[in-house]
Structure formats: C-alpha cells, structure tokens
Amino acid sequence: MSRFILAFACFFKLLFTGKLPAAAAARLPEAKKPEAKALPEPKKEPEPEKKKPVEVKPIVKPSGDLAANHRDGALALLALLQREGRLVDFLRESLDSYQDADIGVAVRDIHRGCKKVIEEHFVLEAVMPGEEDTRVKVPAGFDPGEVRLIGKISGEPPFTGTLRHHGWRVTEVKLPTLTEGVDRRVLAPAEVEIASA
Amino acid sequence: MSTSTHVVGIDLGTTNSAIAAVEVAGGEKAAIEHVAIPQVVAPGEVDARPTLPSFLLLPTALEVPPEAMMLPWSGGAQPGYVVGEMARERGSELPDRLVSSAKSWLSFGGVDRTAAILPWRGAEGDDEDEGEETGARVSPLEASARYLAHLRATWDEAHPDAPLGEQEVLLTVPASFDAVARELTVTAARQAGLEKLTLLEEPQAAFYSFLARAGDSWRKQLRPGDVVVVIDVGGGTCDFSLIAVSEQDGNLSLERVAVGDHILLGGDNMDLTLAHAVTQKLAADGQKLKSSQYRGLVHACRRAKETLLGAKPPKSATITVLGGGSKIIGGTVKSKIEREEVEKLLVDGFAPVVAQDASPRVQRALGLRELGLPYATDPAVTRHLAAFLARHGRRPTAILFNGGVMKGALLRKRIAEVVASWYGGEEVRVLEGTDLDLAVAHGAAYYGLVRHGRGIRIRGGTARSYYIGVESAMPAIPGFAPPVKALCVAPFGMEEGTRVEVPGQELGLLVGEPTEFRFFASSSRKKDRPGQVVDPDEEELQELAPVLADLPAGERPEAAGQLVPVTLASHVTEIGTLELWSSASDGRGRWKLEYSLREGGGE
C-alpha cells in the first residue's frame, strides 16, 4: 500500500474517531506520530483492538477499517458541503435550461455556504506567499512536492522564475467528530412534509 | 482534590448559552478565554461551536433515530434527546417536539415550573381526550438542567483533571429574575452537578466585561455621579439595570441601584418581522415560497438585517432563498430589501422615537386567553426603557449595550439619541469595548477573579424588596376573606451573606399541616424596612408564587393544627438566593419556608 493512502486513512480515522486504525497503527513508523499531535483532538491513546468489533456496522459492508474510515470521512465532508452549501444538488442539476443570471444568483448562496465549510474546518495558507506573475526565487533544498517547476529546468537550485500559482496548504484541520451507527451514505435525507390534519 | 483551578463564567441564555474560563493561578493578567462547546450539529456529527443554542429536541424514534443524537463521551448511551445546534435546526421542522425559551418559563409563575409541561402545546395539547400522541415532555427546570449538564460534560471531556463540579462557577441570571426563579436556577445547576455556584445578574456581568476590557482606563471613562444604564436585549428577553458611580474615600465605587422587570421581548422577533415583510413582497411579485424554504428565508433575513443595520450599510441587500427541492436553481426565489425598509420596520418598530413619559402600550387582554408565556405586547424597547427610567427617577449619563440585537449599529444609535432627547438633547455617552454576544460569560468569569480580591466589585444585593402576606386578625365576616397585609421581610439591596430578623409583632404559624403564604416583591419600593406593613394591592407590589410552610409538629405534638407564635427572618445566601425562616418565639423549633412552584399570581 502506498504511503499516501496509508497517511490519508490515518488522517481521517484520527480526525473522526481520535484513534488510529489497527492496520495502520502497526505499519505506521514511530516517527510519524508527531503529525497526529498537531490535530485538533488528540484524544487518549489509540485503542484499536477494543473498538474493532463495534466498528463494522450492519450498514457498512465489511471492507476493512482503512477503506471504511476513509470512505466515511469523505462522505462526511461531502454531506457538510451539501448541508451548508447545497453543493451536491448544484452539481447534479443540469444548467442547460437556465440563464447565466439565474445561475449567478444561486451561486452566490452556494459559494457562501461552501466557503463557510472550508473556512470553519480548514486553515489554508499559500505555499509560496507572494504576488502571482511576479519573479520568485526557488531556494536550494526546496521540496518538489511543494513547488512544481514548469518548463525547461537545467542546473541546480536556487532557480528564479515567475510565480504562476501560489499553491494552497492546509495548516490546520478541524473536522467534526463522527459518532458510530449513522449511515454516512445518506448525504441528505429525503424530506416529506406531513400535512397536519 | 477539590480546590478550584479555574473560575468559570456560564451565561445560561434564553436562546444561546456560552462559557468563559480563566485559571486562578494565572493571577491578574490571566486571559479569560471563551470555551467552544462541542455539540451534535447534524445526525451523528459532533462539532464545536462558540455557543450552545438553548434548545432541547425530544423527538420520537421515527422523527430522529436515537443513534443520530449520541455524544462521543456518552459511552454509546442514547439519551433520546439532543440539545444545541441540531436541536434548533431540526426542531424548526418539528415544532411540537422542540423546547425553547426554557429560561423564560423558569421565571414565569403562572405554571408549575417543576412539572413536565414543555414543549408547550397550548391549552388543547393538554386535552387527553383528543387522543393525540403527546410524546416526551420535560419541566422548565429539567430543560435548564440538561443545558447545564451538556456544558458540564463538554467541559469535563476537555478538562479531565479539573471537572466543572469542582470549579468555581459564576452562573448568570437576568437581573429581573425574582427570588423564586433564582432558587430554581440554582436547583437546575445542582441537578447538573455544579457544586460551587454563585449567581450573578447578567447586566452586571456585561458591566464587568466592560471593566475587564477597559482595564484601568475605566476610571477615566466614568466619573463620580455617573449613572450607567445597561440595556441588554438578547434573543428572547430585554433586561435593564442602572449602575451608579460614586466616590468613597477617594476611590470610585460602583453600585447597582435598580433593575427592570422581566420583559419577554427580543431579537428573534426581528428576523421574523423581516421574513414576514419579504414573504409579502414575494407574493406581490407572484413568487411563492414552499414551506421547506421558510427556514432559508429567516436565515437570509438575519444576514440582510446584520448587513443593513451594520456600521456602513449598503443601500439595499439581496435576499436569495435556494429551491427547497434538489433542483435549486430552478426553485430559487429572489427579492431585494432596501435599507430604508429595514430602518422603518426594525429601527422604528423596535426603537421608535418616543417621549420621556411614554409607557409600553398594554393590549387589552381578552377575557379568555390561552395560557402561555406573557410576551410583551409592545415591541418598542424605547418605551419599556422610558417607563423603567421614569420609575426609578435616575438620569442616565452613559449607556452600555449588550445582547446580540444590539450589534445593529443603527439601533444603538437610535436608542442613544432617544435617551439623549429625554434629557435636553445632551449626548449620552456609549461605553464601548464589549463583545455583545459573549460579554456576559466573559464578565462572569472576570467577576470570579474580582471575588479573589482583584479589581472593583459592584455593590448590589437583592434587586427587590420582598413581602409576606399576613392575614389580619379580625372577626370573620361571611363572604369576605380576611384582609391581607404585606409584611416586608427582606429590604431592597440586602447583601449576599447577610440575614435580618423581621421586627414587630409575633405571627401565628399553623403547625402540623401545610400552610401557604402569599409572597410579594417590589423592584421600586427601596425604602421599606423589614417589619414594615404595606397594602398588597399597591401597584408597585407584584405577587409571586406563594411560599409554603409545612412545619412538622416535631417537638410539640400538642400544637398540631394550632397556631404557634413565631418570628420571621430572611437570609440572602452567598450563592445569591433568598431564604425565609421562621423561629418559634419560645425557641422550640426553627423552620425554612419553601417556594411553592405550582401556580402564582405572577403575570
């Protein structure tokens, strides 16, 4: 399994349950632990064994801890964007029959809602602060994961170039705690209004 | 271990509750911090919010699945109810299951406040014959206890080494809460496991927040002779207090000299007023709102209100409500609201320009009225304020605003102008620097530090004088109840931790069977001393829930069913509640009188 997926799974599992997945805990190198500390709710020590039997709910296909938690985390974020910003409704609606102005009116509301989700749950910063389309210096020892070089590159850093996109980095994640027993696949329940007699 | 490491201020609000805390060891410079409150925000989703909406939802399992309301720290227990954001949001779709304004019910003597009457369903809801499924209900006391228990649980989760039950807690109540409502608040807090408790009046807490933020500069902002009127308009209630600044031995001293009556009038009305106006506009344009869009409309109106009443308002704001179904663009409803409209509706509606001698309009009560909370019939804050100032005859020289409603800069400006106009147009200073939403919790925590000997303390004591109804001894006349005199048992401004004996004649107390005494209070009769006799029909006297004496015959079985001569004493506890005691004149027995919570004259 790639390190990326492992890290991603740990990330969601820790955020939503405060515990490391059993499979991941065994494989995770000790040196990775400090990363968990930076998370908002570094609850007690991981206790994967104890919780394991409870984790597989009837509604969850027994697909292993990693996949299930990864999936629940993704679904929860999608549900948030739908609840606050109606994002799923919007993306699933065909725009063909509407005028741009009508779409514009609705988008302001959708934008406000989705923006609220992003702002309340993630702290974002530019990877490379600075005005776009100005000259910047890429120092020696830079991380190619953080700075993507475009064009013909020769020689050794430092390089000088034009900043095309300042990039985004999440410095803090404040996602809600998910409690057990709720089917996360229901992003939004059906609504039925019962007329009072 | 039971020493407090923190001082915690809790604002148990009518619509929102907040917590602020400070570490005692941090000394004077310690920062008072707001404590975010984790709560269920959506089914199975728990997130922290700055405040806890004071709403309790009691759904059936068909309305909200029990597992959707679980809390991470409850160990898998399913309480069957939920408080906070999800209760408020989901509850707006299930109004018959939603408990709101529990605090207003707590101070309303017209019902039994310990009986399971909420959610209030009006008179017909009580009719069992209709065969309507009634669902779970709780008492106003229980609802308040559940909000506090939630706050305690979230605190304990975050501070496992310093549980809230061991911390010094300052719990705020409206200044207008009478002795009975204060007692009930303390009972709710005890039920929620808060042990080290002191009550503090909300307008005073807001003032402490001002003092904390102003630091030493408050001595420059206020001078001897200043009188500050605190105008606290929250989501559901409106509360006034007067704080006088004087000089004693060369130091400034502060005294709370008057409090207003309990007025059920608040900011939630404003959003509804605006929503109503927009609905009419939409109808005129031929646009129709689905009922599923109404909540979106109220939210949009609140945003428009905040923009248009803000410091630099634009000329108009757009109100957009997305479609209620999954087709959101197709169902979007759009309208526009002008600044002038909002000013007319809200500023003129809630803070009209009125004369100094204005008094709130009282709508003629119909002969038969549905029993419910006694909402103010006049929405004009300025008229209630005029009546309050007239009753206490003090001229305010400065204003301190508090409460979410007062975030509207135009409203603050209008009220300040109206008050100035009452006193020859001379400008009335507005004290700035408090956070209108969170000042009460913040100020309460600061007051906790003040009690440790740091900073200045506002003197206050009881906000009312209290009286007990005593039947006159006179020959019985058929068809006439013997006249009742009101005997002052606790004077205005009686300080915490003091007790007074009521001088005067001995009273006969029936022993061995329950007796009820009528109980009165006045917020304006400040000169009455203990033992003074007043006519209970006096307009300044308000009747509260009666006090009960069920005095066991105990050591004097021979006296059962007979009158025993007693004297009365009152005691204002350190917590801030009022206790009434009677002692047998011959020294054989001493009994505490209890507040009856069933029904009263209150209203």
Mean pLDDT of chain B: 86
What is the total residue count of chain A? 197
A-B contacts at Cβ under 8 angstroms = 81
Q: How confident is the model at residue B235 (pLDDT cuts 50, 70, 90)?
A: confident
On whether any CB of chain A is under 8 Å from the CB of B248, the answer is no
pLDDT-wise least confident of A116-130, B20-34, B587-601: B587-601
Q: Tell me, what amino acid is at B510?
A: L
Window from A173-187, B128-142, B165-179, B463-477 with minimum mean pLDDT: B128-142
- How far does Cα B325 stand from its chain's mean position? 39
How far apart, in Å, are the Cα atoms of B26 and each of A72, B70, B130, B452?
42, 36, 60, 12
Nearest CA in chain B to A97: B330
Smallest Cα distance from B334 to chain A, Å: 8
Q: What is the mean pLDDT of residues A179-196?
A: 87
Quick check: B172 and B439 in contact, CB under 8 A?
no
| A33 has a pLDDT exceeding 60 | no
Tens digit of each residue's pLDDT (9 = 90 or more) over B369-415: 556 777 777 889 999 999 999 989 899 999 999 998 888 888 999 99
Report the candidate in B390, B370, B96, B420 with the shortest Cα–Cα distance to residue B242. Answer: B390
* H-type alpha helices, B255-380: 268-284, 294-308, 339-342, 348-350
Indicate whether B129 pLDDT > 50.
Answer: no
Taking contacts as CB-CB distances below 8 angstroms, the residues of chain B near A184 are: 44
* Closest-approach residue (CA) in chain A for B332: A106
Tell whether the model's pLDDT for residue A20 goes beyond 60. no
Cβ-defined contact of B67 to A182 (cutoff 8 Å): yes
If phi > 0 it is left, if psi is from -120 to 50 it is alpha, else beta; for residue B262 that is beta
Would you list the DSSP string of B67-82? Answer: GGG--GGGTT---S-E
pLDDT at residue B473, as a whole number: 66
Whether B284 has a pLDDT exceeding 80, the answer reads yes
Which of B270, B271, B289 is CA-nearest to residue B279? B289
Q: CB of B231 within 8 A of CB of B381? A: yes
Domains and CATH numbers, chain B: 6-123+135-199 (3.30.420.40), 201-265+353-459 (3.30.420.40), 268-350 (3.90.640.10), 465-595 (no CATH)
Instruction: Name chain B contacts of A84, Cβ cutoff 8 Å.
Output: none
From the list B65, B71, B75, B14, the residue with the least C-alpha distance to B47 is B71
Segment B139-185, tens digit of pLDDT: 999 999 999 999 999 999 999 999 999 999 999 999 989 899 999 99
Q: B562 or A191: whose pLDDT is higher? A: A191
Interface of A with B (CB under 8 A): 76, 79-80, 83, 86, 89-90, 92-93, 95, 97-98, 102-103, 105-106, 108-110, 174, 176-182, 184, 191, 193
**Does the pLDDT of residue A77 top 80, yes or no?**
yes
pLDDT category, B559, cuts 50, 70, 90? low
B343/B337 Cα distance (integer angstroms): 11
Span B464-480, average pLDDT: 76
Q: Is B18's pLDDT higher than 90?
A: yes
Domain boundaries of chain A, sorted by first residue: 3-126
Which residues have C-beta within 8 Å of that of residue B516, sequence separation ≥ 6? B546, B547, B548, B549, B596
Q: What is the CA radius of gyration of chain B?
A: 25
Residue A11 has pLDDT above 60, yes or no: no
Instruction: Considering only residues B564 and B416, tell me which one the structure prediction assigns the higher pLDDT.
Output: B416
3-state secondary structure of B113: coil
A179/B70 CB distance under 8 A: yes
What percentage of chain A has pLDDT greater than the value 70?
Answer: 65
CA atoms of B190 and A80, how far apart (whole Å): 37
Nearest-Cα distance to chain B for A4, in Å, is 26
Q: Which residues of B touch A97 (CB under 8 A)?
A: 330
Supply the DSSP symbol for A188.
S
Provide, as residue numbers in chain A, all residues whose Cβ is less than 8 Å from the Cβ of B70: 179-181
Q: Give the residue-averaged pLDDT of A104-117.
A: 93
Contact B188, B145 (CB under 8 A): yes
Task: Summarize the confidence of residues B506-510 as an average pLDDT.
Answer: 77
What integer pLDDT is reported at residue B399 of this predicted model?
Answer: 96
User: How do strand B45-49 and strand A177-178 relate by DSSP bridges?
Assistant: antiparallel
Residue A98: list chain B partners with CB under 8 A: 329-330
What does R_g of chain A's alpha carbons equal in angstroms? 22
Question: What's the pTM value of the predicted model, to 2 decimals?
Answer: 0.84
pLDDT of residue A43: 43
Closest approach of chain B CAs to the CA of A63, in angstroms? 21
Pairing assessment for the beta strands B498-501 and B37-42 based on DSSP bridges: unpaired
Assess whether pLDDT exceeds 50 at residue B356: yes
Q: pLDDT tens digit string along B322-354? A: 888 888 888 888 898 999 998 888 999 899 999
Query: Looking at chain A, which residue has its C-alpha nearest residue B323?
Result: A106
- B94 touching A (Cβ < 8 Å): no
Tell me the shortest Cα–Cα distance from A59 to chain B, in angstroms. Answer: 13
Asked if B41's CB is within 8 angstroms of A98's CB, the reply is: no
User: d(Cα B116, Cα B93) in Å, to the nearest integer?
Assistant: 22
